[in-house]
């Protein structure tokens, strides 16, 4: 078969020999530095292909089930767009109230059902461990699009890809995570993933009640990265290369009064950014509520909208990889 694209990542070859063929993506834990370089290489080629030709037939004939038990705009639509840009089709199930879930069907049975019809399942669910449970019953690759306050591996991958594209490197960076570090699953995955790079310093800025979980900090410490916790941003901001802002995860609070106490703990404004480096970026997995003022959006350091776009390329890469096409 003639090669349509001169890329070492998209060989149009024998599926079974592709290194990620049939694998689940449940956590960032298994990824090595070499894996990350590979994924970012594929994502980079996906970017070029989208910019040159928009849509192409790498995954023609493949079907994705997009199973969302929690609200989502970016993650669900970027997975759908990713599949469609690769020529594949999507069964979107985001209104689970219209599916048999509303009749009391268990997650294993719903997943068993979808696995009969599709080649890959993307799942978001409010319970930690739900994606792993789904993977047990699917027999098809399962991609975790957020399991409660657990992990959000594809977001962390696109976050690292964003840093690579924006800063030109993933080594020797001071990354400051700010906001709800307790319930924010994106920072749990990102802190773990950043341990794969050299010269990373991590600062965590959060209210006392929303500190980074010990298990994540222990994993980071095991890898020997310097990390420190703060309740205010002012001391760490001048040294920060990447400021990663998160939303206070209202839906995970049992007591609304506790949410009210911390909801506006930090607000990034142009005045705050005046104290930051010229060569730094502000990221946010989005949606934002009040934690970054809209007045920051025009600042060239505001990378959060570009970050959404990088997500498309990374998700295209991941779908192609688990379906044996990259």
Binding flag, residue 148, ligand NCD (CB under 6 A): no
The interface with ligand NCD within residues 14-73 (CB under 6 A) comprises: none
Q: Which is nearer to ligand NCD, 150 or 324 (CB)?
A: 150
* Per-residue x/- track, 238-257, ligand NCD (CB under 6 A): ---------x----------
CA 211/CA 101 separation, integer angstroms: 34
Alpha-carbon distance values, 9 to 3, 65, 201, 249 (Å): 12, 25, 31, 37
Binding flag, residue 74, ligand NCD (CB under 6 A): yes
Contact status, residue 290 vs residue 264, Cβ threshold 8 Å: yes
- Name the minimum Å distance from CB 186 to ligand NCD: 5
Binding flag, residue 307, ligand NCD (CB under 6 A): no
Instruction: Give Cβ neighbours of residue 151 (< 8 Å, ≥ 6 apart).
Output: 26, 27, 28, 144, 185, 188, 189
Binding flag, residue 152, ligand NCD (CB under 6 A): yes
- Name the minimum Å distance from CB 215 to ligand NCD: 18
- Name the minimum Å distance from CB 235 to ligand NCD: 25
**Residue 34 burial (CB count, 10 A):** 9
Binding flag, residue 125, ligand NCD (CB under 6 A): no
- Name the minimum Å distance from CB 2 to ligand NCD: 39
Binding flag, residue 286, ligand NCD (CB under 6 A): yes
Q: Which is nearer to ligand NCD, 164 or 284 (CB)?
A: 284
Binding flag, residue 265, ligand NCD (CB under 6 A): no
* Own/partner pairs, 231-239, CB within 8 angstroms, 24+ separation: 231/205, 231/206, 231/207, 232/205, 233/176, 233/178, 233/205, 233/266, 233/272, 234/275, 236/174, 236/176, 236/203, 236/205, 237/176, 237/272, 237/275, 237/276, 238/275, 238/276, 238/277, 239/174, 239/201
Contact status, residue 182 vs residue 213, Cβ threshold 8 Å: yes
Q: Which is nearer to ligand NCD, 10 or 283 (CB)?
A: 283
Residues, the chain: 326
The interface with ligand NCD within residues 171-200 (CB under 6 A) comprises: 185-186
- Name the minimum Å distance from CB 71 to ligand NCD: 8
The secondary element (H helix, E strand) that includes residue 281 is: strand 281-283
Binding flag, residue 75, ligand NCD (CB under 6 A): yes
* Interaction site with ligand NCD (CB under 6 A): 74-75, 146, 152, 155, 185-186, 247, 285-286
């Amino acid at each position: 078969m003639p090669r349509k694209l001169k890329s070492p990542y998209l060989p149009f070859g024998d599926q079974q020999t592709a290194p990620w063929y049939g694998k689940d993506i449940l956590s960032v834990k298994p990824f090595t530095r070499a894996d990350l370089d590979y994924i970012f290489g594929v994502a980079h080629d996906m970017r070029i292909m989208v910019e040159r030709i928009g849509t192409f037939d790498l995954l023609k004939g493949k079907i994705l089930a997009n199973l969302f038990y929690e609200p989502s705009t970016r993650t669900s639509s970027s997975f759908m767009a990713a599949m469609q840009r690769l020529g594949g089709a999507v069964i979107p199930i985001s209104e689970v109230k219209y599916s048999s879930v509303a009749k009391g069907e268990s997650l294993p049975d719903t997943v068993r059902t979808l696995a009969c019809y599709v080649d890959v399942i993307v799942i978001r669910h409010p319970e930690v461990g739900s994606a792993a449970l789904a993977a047990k019953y699917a027999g098809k690759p399962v991609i975790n699009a957020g399991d409660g306050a657990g992990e959000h591996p594809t977001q962390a991958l696109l976050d690292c890809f964003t840093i690579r594209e924006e800063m030109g490197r993933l080594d020797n960076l001071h990354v400051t995570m700010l906001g709800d570090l307790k319930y924010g699953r994106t920072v749990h995955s990102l802190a773990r993933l950043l341990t794969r790079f050299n010269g990373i310093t991590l600062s965590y800025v959060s209210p006392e009640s929303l500190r980074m979980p010990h298990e994540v900090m222990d994993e980071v410490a095991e890898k020997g990265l310097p990390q420190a916790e703060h309740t205010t941003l002012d001391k760490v901001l001048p040294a920060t290369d990447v400021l990663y802002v998160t939303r206070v995860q209202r839906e995970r609070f049992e007591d609304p009064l506790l949410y009210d106490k911390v909801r506006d703990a930090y607000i990034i404004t142009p005045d705050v950014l005046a104290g930051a480096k010229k060569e730094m970026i502000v990221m946010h997995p989005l949606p934002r509520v009040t934690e970054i003022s809209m007045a920051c959006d025009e600042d060239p350091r505001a990378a959060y909208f570009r970050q959404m776009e990088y997500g498309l390329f990374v998700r295209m890469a991941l779908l192609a990889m688990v379906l044996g096409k990259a």
